[in-house]
Structure 1
């Protein structure tokens, strides 16, 4: 069996004739980013005139079966998800031994780019904006967990933002489906700064959905502090692991951020995964806190409550650096 057939199987004449089934049907517009075997572009479909993200995966560079299985798994997971806060799968096809995955386009970039902008301009996100984004991240992840799908690589670069300001969880290349008999997994995969202690330890122990909760805690902290809680100059994996295992991170200033935000970070960044809240509880807190800040803003401005899609709130405030230990 060829690499192409192993990934996608025989391509039917019907799928080739669809508007999303061939590269010639797209006008590639802009380079967006690059992964280990993949490159992502924005593109316009010539038939529907819709704008999409086109992820090109170089199958010929994949010498081992695991990389090919990762491709198949990503497509399978994407096909199971349908939520406004998860990047939508549209189609996929193979051409000239390259796999193309057609995805919803989040044209405003990602959370990593946004955080860099705040750092560069010496501003910070208001807490209202933090909750506005975080509640959408949690809502998308709750949908994934309800489908028994673990993300395993939640980080700012995988949290995308649409032109309308909506947040989308994406890049499920490391995602994992938990079957009815699966209780934990063991692969040490992910991005180290956002990996839970049970995943980053030298002697691999099992982990489950609560590992994603740790990553959420890192994201919530980073939106407030504008850096990862365990960031350090010239850290190698050994020293990073040591920081994580003793929870060596600077507390967020109580003079700026609410008790609820700081307490939720602390509850997510707990060494024992059994002591972390599940995604339903985290999402409930995020929704409640955003609603509280919206209500406070409305009372201050004496204006009607906006719809959840409203973008009238300012995202900026002056930066107060987090004190280093």
Structure 2
């Protein structure tokens, strides 16, 4: 879901929400629509108490699979509210009103990674490798934190990585889609098209945290190639699934990016989930590579120009 918020202002904390008792829609003024998915709409909102900004996701409860799915979804949201990490969109609170579920979220005001990639693609420019490592290390840090809490994301993709006005990224839109009835999705919708889904998921097999690692590998690839590794298979779902299962995608040219980047894509996108490296490994590599580029840049800046 593309969540592009363009405004600036005060940001709420969880303590602020508790203080003003923000457990009903009357406590907020809904502003622009900033995102839309198959089962939800996201609005920028301002609190009526002090004017600070949040994002509010309105979820179509009637589209949930059944009563158990509703209870499981509420339990999942309660878990997400306990996540506290600088690179994860904060889930502040949630409440039911008029038969709809409202989730109050931290507002990221710089667009999302999908828009960022699209901008570079439209201008025919490559994303600088230090920027790729900076953003990817932050995504991996967020995933590592979630996995340590035994929570899977299930929907890692560029559109779910949000950018703040100060240039940090935050992982959001944590996958609640499994609680909804797929039949309520329009027949011509691309929701569920598995560009970022692991081989085990597209084959409807059991999956675990390594499935998120696969999706992160797809995201890293896309930042370098400016397109999904499987984007060329848009019209033939069978062929798309076949290529995902085989992890068959165009290589990233060696003259454009480092061997380390291409190697990390490969180990994250190993078709065998048992052979995939975990988020801790990916986070370590990404952080070390970003720090290497920062040191290299600093050395160049401090080197006197030759005469």
Equivalent residue number for residue 80 of structure 2: 78
Are 1:51 and 2:53 counterparts?
yes
1:112-165 CA-partner distances (Å, limit 9, x unpaired): 111111111221210000001000000000000000111111011111111111
Equivalent residue number for residue 276 of structure 2: 276
Equivalent residue number for residue 256 of structure 1: 256
Equivalent residue number for residue 5 of structure 1: none
Q: Distance in 1 between matches of 2:36 and 2:71?
A: 19
Q: More displaced, 56-65 or 150-159? A: 56-65
Against the structure 1 CA distance between its residues 126 and 118, is the aligned structure 2 distance closer, same or farther, given a 3 Å change threshold?
A: same
TM-score, normalising length: structure 1: 0.79
> Could you tell me whether the CA contact under 8 Å between 1:107 and 1:161 is conserved in 2?
yes
Q: Distance in 2 between matches of 1:228 and 1:17?
A: 43
2:24 pairs with one of 18, 22, 45: 22
Equivalent residue number for residue 36 of structure 2: 34
Q: Distance in 2 between matches of 1:245 and 1:24?
A: 48
> Could you tell me whether the CA contact under 8 Å between 1:82 and 1:88 is conserved in 2?
yes
Measured after TM superposition, the shift of residue 63 of structure 1 is 6.2
Against the structure 1 CA distance between its residues 172 and 230, is the aligned structure 2 distance closer, same or farther, given a 3 Å change threshold?
A: same
Are 1:299 and 2:295 counterparts?
no
Unpaired runs of 5+ in structure 2? 1-16, 179-190
The 5-angstrom pairing of residues 1-325 of structure 1 reads 18-62=20-64, 64-65=66-67, 67-69=69-71, 71-174=73-176, 192-201=194-203, 204-302=204-302
SS class of match (1:234)? coil
Measured after TM superposition, the shift of residue 92 of structure 1 is 1.3
Q: Distance in 2 between matches of 1:54 and 1:117?
A: 26
> Could you tell me whether the CA contact under 8 Å between 2:194 and 2:202 is conserved in 1?
yes
Equivalent pairs counted in the alignment come to: 275
Against the structure 1 CA distance between its residues 175 and 162, is the aligned structure 2 distance closer, same or farther, given a 3 Å change threshold?
A: same
> Could you tell me whether the CA contact under 8 Å between 1:217 and 1:265 is conserved in 2?
yes
SS class of match (1:124)? coil
SS class of match (1:228)? coil
SS class of match (1:248)? coil
> Could you tell me whether the CA contact under 8 Å between 1:134 and 1:220 is conserved in 2?
yes
Against the structure 1 CA distance between its residues 259 and 69, is the aligned structure 2 distance closer, same or farther, given a 3 Å change threshold?
A: same
Measured after TM superposition, the shift of residue 208 of structure 1 is 0.9
Measured after TM superposition, the shift of residue 22 of structure 1 is 1.8
Measured after TM superposition, the shift of residue 167 of structure 1 is 0.8
Q: Distance in 1 between matches of 2:161 and 2:254?
A: 27
Measured after TM superposition, the shift of residue 71 of structure 1 is 3.2
> Could you tell me whether the CA contact under 8 Å between 2:233 and 2:240 is conserved in 1?
no
Unpaired runs of 5+ in structure 1? 1-14, 177-188, 304-325
Measured after TM superposition, the shift of residue 110 of structure 1 is 0.9
TM-score, normalising length: structure 2: 0.84
> Could you tell me whether the CA contact under 8 Å between 1:16 and 1:22 is conserved in 2?
no
Q: Distance in 2 between matches of 1:25 and 1:191?
A: 37
Measured after TM superposition, the shift of residue 73 of structure 1 is 3.9
Against the structure 1 CA distance between its residues 61 and 262, is the aligned structure 2 distance closer, same or farther, given a 3 Å change threshold?
A: closer
Measured after TM superposition, the shift of residue 70 of structure 1 is 5.4
SS class of match (1:149)? coil
